[in-house]
């Protein structure tokens, strides 16, 4: 895939091998001089290595990003930004780090530059999902959207295959729901179908060869498209279920999306024939719900909530939470059918 630079409103996208080397130049273009670099504890070394070319522009760093963006971590990050007099945030990593950057930006109005290292897709959205007191909520606001996203394919070459699969299928879920979102449109539908096609073809090749640069490029391209879909169209049942399971039961974000997606699609299938047909086309003619489950299974990803540590005894409570303040969905979200859906997902039943 040829490197490219893409400008959208309001985000600017820089894509290509070695693209992260343009980080300092991008801050200069934006007139930013004091960056706070963010990452998870596990990516501290990598993030500081990438940020080393910032030189005098590096004001400080904060490496406590955590899954589901807990508000208590954000509060510490806000204080750190104030301590170093940061005029911008540079988030280097996956969804946890990107979420932290958005949460700090929401509270401080600091501009953001994001360097994704996974296939999260959330970097392209004005959406913040954060957790407080065991509940995950979402905010959509233009000031949450990063100013620039730098996609460096080389940074994904060391992403383990299994994390690549769950991260990629998490991204694909964004495209899947965009196909039947209440505010869908033809342009986003085209992007969503292309994103699913590209990702579902790239992930098996990455499992076969983690250093396959072309497959990595296509997967990152697909994740970018999925992020545009998520940022441009609403969310429905699948995302509500995953936010509930992640925020209230602390299940791993990407893996939960990977498990739940087939069951959410099966729940909605009678109400979304056009979306199911589009996904089937993208996946080579297979049924979308069964196809996503088979792909996860064949690539060694988790296929049940039980495998993620979710307790059977918590199904009833999760169903109650998922039906409270439910997102719009093409099929009514009702307690008994949702409890049944979660039971099937907990067992990993065939569809």
DSSP letters along 220-250, please? HHHHHHHHHHHHHS---HHHHHHHHHHHHH-
Unique residue bearing structure tokens 């699969």: 165
The answer to whether 126 touches 144, Cβ cutoff 8 Å, is yes
pLDDT of residue 31 exceeding 60: yes
What is the per-residue pLDDT for 325?
Answer: 82
- Its CATH class, for the domain covering 4-156, is alpha beta
The percentage of the chain sitting over the pLDDT mark of 90, rounded to a whole number, equals: 88
pLDDT surpassing 80 at residue 5: no
Please report, in angstroms and rounded to a whole number, the separation of the first and last CA atoms in the chain: 36
Selection from 255, 238, 253, 235 nearest residue 341 by Cα: 238
- Phi, psi for 195 (deg, rounded to 5): -60, -45
Residue 105 contacts by C-beta under 8 Å, 6 or more apart in sequence?
89, 111, 112, 143, 144, 146
Angle at 227 between CA 329 and CA 256, to 5 degrees: 60
What percent of the chain shows pLDDT beyond 70? 98
pTM of the full structure:
0.92
In whole angstroms, give the CA distance from residue 347 to residue 314: 13
Question: What pLDDT digit, counting tens, does each position of 62-118 carry?
Answer: 999 999 999 999 999 999 999 999 999 999 999 999 999 999 999 999 999 999 999
Query: Lowest-pLDDT range, 12-21, 231-240, 288-297, 313-322?
Result: 231-240
Give domain limits for the chain.
4-156, 161-347
Task: Say whether pLDDT at 8 is over 60.
Answer: no
CA distances from 211 to 196, 236, 319 (A): 21, 35, 41
b/e per residue 124-156 (b: at least 16 CB within 10 A)? bbbbbbbbeeeebeeeeeeebbbbbbbbbbebb
Cβ of 82: how many Cβ atoms within 10 Å? 11
| pLDDT for position 93 | 97
Q: What is the pLDDT of residue 11?
A: 85
Q: Which residues contact 23 (CB under 8 A, 6 or more apart)?
A: 50, 51, 53, 54, 90, 113, 115, 150
- Measured distance CA(284)–CA(291) in Å, rounded: 9
| Contact (CB, 8 A) for 93 and 65 | yes
- CA distances in angstroms from 115 to 156, 166, 201, 279, 344, listed in the order given: 11, 19, 24, 29, 37
Q: Which CATH number fits domain 161-347: 3.20.20.100, 1.10.579.10, 3.40.1180.10, 1.20.1090.10?
A: 1.20.1090.10
> Strands, DSSP E only, in the chain?
4-7, 12-16, 35-38, 58-62, 88-93, 112-116, 127-132, 135-140, 148-152
Q: What is the pLDDT of residues 256-279, one digit of tens each?
A: 999 999 999 999 999 999 999 999
Q: Do domains 4-156 and 161-347 have the same CATH topology?
A: no
Q: Is 187 exposed, middle or buried (0-12, 13-18, 19+ CB in 10 A)?
A: exposed
Q: CA dihedral in degrees (235, 236, 241, 247; nearest 10)?
A: 30
Instruction: From residue 231, give the alpha-carbon distance in Å to each of 12, 99, 187, 210.
Output: 14, 14, 13, 29
């Amino acid at each position: 895939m040829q490197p490219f630079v893409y400008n959208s409103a309001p985000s600017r996208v820089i894509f290509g091998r070695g693209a992260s080397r343009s980080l300092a130049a991008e801050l200069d273009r934006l007139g930013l001089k004091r960056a706070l670099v963010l990452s998870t504890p596990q990516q501290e070394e990598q993030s500081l290595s990438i940020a080393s070319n910032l030189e005098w522009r590096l004001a400080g760093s904060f490496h406590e990003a955590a899954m589901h963006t807990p508000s208590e971590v954000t509060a510490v990050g806000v204080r750190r930004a104030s301590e170093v007099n940061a005029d911008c945030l540079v988030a280097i990593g996956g969804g946890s780090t990107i979420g932290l950057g958005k949460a700090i930006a929401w509270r401080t109005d600091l501009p953001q530059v994001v360097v994704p290292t996974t296939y999260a897709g959330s970097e392209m959205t004005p959406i913040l999902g954060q957790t407080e007191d065991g509940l995950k909520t979402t905010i959509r606001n233009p000031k949450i959207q990063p100013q620039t996203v730098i996609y460096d394919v080389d940074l994904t070459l060391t992403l383990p295959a299994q994390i690549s699969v769950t991260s990629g299928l998490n991204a694909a879920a964004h495209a899947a729901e965009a196909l039947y979102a209440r505010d869908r449109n033809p342009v986003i539908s085209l992007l969503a179908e292309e994103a699913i096609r590209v990702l579902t073809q790239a992930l098996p090749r990455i499992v076969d060869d983690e250093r396959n640069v072309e497959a990595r490029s296509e997967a990152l391209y697909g994740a970018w498209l999925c992020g545009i879909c998520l940022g441009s169209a609403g969310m429905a049942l699948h995302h509500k279920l995953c936010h509930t399971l992640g925020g209230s039961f602390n299940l791993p974000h990407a893996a939960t999306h990977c498990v739940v997606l087939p069951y959410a699609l099966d729940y909605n299938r009678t109400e979304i024939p056009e979306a199911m047909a589009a996904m089937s086309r993208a996946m080579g003619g297979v049924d979308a719900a069964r196809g996503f489950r088979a792909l996860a299974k064949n690539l060694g990803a988790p296929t049940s909530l039980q495998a993620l540590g979710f307790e059977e005894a918590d199904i009833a409570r999760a169903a109650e939470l998922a039906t409270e303040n439910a997102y719009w969905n093409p099929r009514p979200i009702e307690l008994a059918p949702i409890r049944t859906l979660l039971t099937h997902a907990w067992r990993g039943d065939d569809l």
